[in-house]
Amino acid sequence: LVDETEVEVFSVPSYACQRRTTLDNHNNVLAHALSLLAENAELEDEDGRGVAFRRAAAVLKALPKPVTSMMQLRGLPCLGDHCLRVIKDILETGTSSEVEATKQSERYKALKVLTGIFGVGAKTAARWIRDGIHTLQQLRDSGHTLNRAQQAGLEHYEDLHQQVTKAEADTIGEIVERAVVSVLPGAQVVLTGGFRRGKLTGHDVDFLITHPVEGREEGLMPKVVSWLESQGFLLYQKTTRNSYLESNDGPARPASNIDRFERCLSIFKLIKEDKHETKQLGKLSENGLETPEDTCSSLTHVQTDPNPATPSCAKGQIHSGEDTGHRLWRAVRVDLVVSPISQFAFALLGWTGSKLFERELRRWAGYEKAMSLSSHALYDNNQSRYLRATSEEEIFAHLGLEYIPPSERNA
Ligand code: TTP
Ligand code: MN
Ligand code: MN
Ligand code: MN
């Protein structure tokens, strides 16, 4: 019998943006189970349920110790009956029957495979499943028309499901930096997304680009994309131009949570660094990259092969990779966003994530402060004016929140 007076009852603030959530947490099993139910809800295009599970998972991630008893959860925010049932199940039996059943379900598996294709969302996947398509092969055989993004997604499916390492993210960062300063000297590139929060791997790499002089960033994206394309670094790209100024969404907050920056969703062709080869050749330039005349592993290697499936390499013969069948490059998803300097702090905050942290910041702003926060601006409805900020710290201060650094935004 547990003496209730000895049970440590946890307490956390309601909004994830009021809490510090590191990558490590004390309740991985529980958080993971609730995240899977969140994912399943999102796959079923039930975003409301998805958010509820995400919030519950985030509360568990924020607890200072492992949960051992249901009594500890009394009074915690965001834990509804459904979530409590799942947690109880796991505490008592080690697993949740609902989570296990979901994992095993054909529908979940099919939705996961199909939405796992870049360019395929929950609605499209559901439509295909209604047509009897559950696997990639069935999709290929079905003769369904795929758009350009989906074609690229299917073609590079395996690569895009390999986690991107921090080292790969940094290599891509150097390529993007080179592209950006080549077309606009003085422009700046910042790594955002999960890698900025300290994640060691990611599903893509996110960059925010700006220039210290307002207006100089205009028209930058097409030039960066052209440069990258001319160097053979892009397997796919779709650029959307800035529509913030002409949008009629009203103050700060776009009609949807999707922002309106000039952005480019792309798939990079990343030449794999070959450690063995590097050592053999023993020639490193000062930035640690091989010099172009020695190997195609270098960033400066111009890929001129019109068919991106075969990396062009003047000295391709020095690699045994092609003979033994493993490719010397991989596809990596990369997101590029361009922001004017006046909106940079908001864009940086908005593109650092996590997605739930962002959502909670906006909810806090709206419900608790009567403010509208977006990746472009912060509007104060009480004062009927925009609040300027040149740093993330200032935005947190405007919102009346303690500053949370990126590494603690892993809600
Ligand atoms: P993601 O790249 O989707 O997520 P992530 O970097 O946190 O994790 P992963 O390792 O899986 O890549 O999104 C990064 C941030 O970008 C996220 O906080 C939300 C923001 N974002 C937008 O603001 N608008 C968008 O349209 C998208 C897709 C993301
Ligand atoms: Mn990312
Ligand atoms: Mn991204
Ligand atoms: Mn080569």
pLDDT digit string, tens, across residues 218-261: 999 999 999 999 999 999 999 998 766 555 555 555 444 556 78
The pLDDT tens digits of the residues spanning 34-52 come to 999 999 999 999 999 999 9
The ipTM, to two decimals, is 0.94
Q: Give the residue whose CA is nearest to atom 21 of ligand 1.
A: 351
Contact by Cβ (8 Å): 253, 374: yes
Q: Tally the residues of the chain.
A: 411
Q: H-helix or E-strand containing 200? A: none
Query: Which homologous superfamily does the CATH classification assign to the domain defined by 164-338?
Result: Beta Polymerase, domain 2 (3.30.460.10)
Determine whether the annotation assigns residue 206 to a binding site: yes
pLDDT in tens, 380-411: 999 999 999 999 999 999 999 999 999 999 99
Name the CATH architecture for the domain at 342-408. Answer: 2-Layer Sandwich (3.30)
Q: Quick one: pLDDT at residue 280? A: 45
Q: Is the pLDDT of residue 277 over 50?
A: yes
H or E stretch covering 173: helix 166-183
The span from the CA of 70 to the CA of 88, in Å, is: 7
Name the architecture of domain 105-155. Answer: Orthogonal Bundle (1.10)
Work out the percent of the chain whose per-residue pLDDT is above 70: 82
Res. 326: pLDDT tops 50: yes
From the CA of 294, which ligand is nearest?
4
CA of 229 to the centre of ligand 4 (A): 18
- Ligand 1 and 374: CB distance under 6 A: no
The residues, any chain, with a CB within 8 Å of residue 346's CB and separated by 6 or more, are 339, 373, 374, 375, 376, 377, 378, 389, 395
Q: Are the folds of 105-155 and 164-338 the same?
A: no
Six token digits for residue 45: 């295009």
**170 appears as a binding residue in the annotation:** no
Q: How far apart are the two ends of the chain, measured CA to CA in Å? A: 34
Q: How far apart are CA 195 and CA 166, in angstroms?
A: 7
336 Rama sector, left if φ>0, alpha if ψ -120 to 50, beta otherwise: beta
In the chain, domain spans:
4-102, 105-155, 164-338, 342-408
Q: State the fold for domain 4-102.
A: DNA polymerase; domain 1 (1.10.150)
358 lines ligand 1 (CB under 6 A): yes
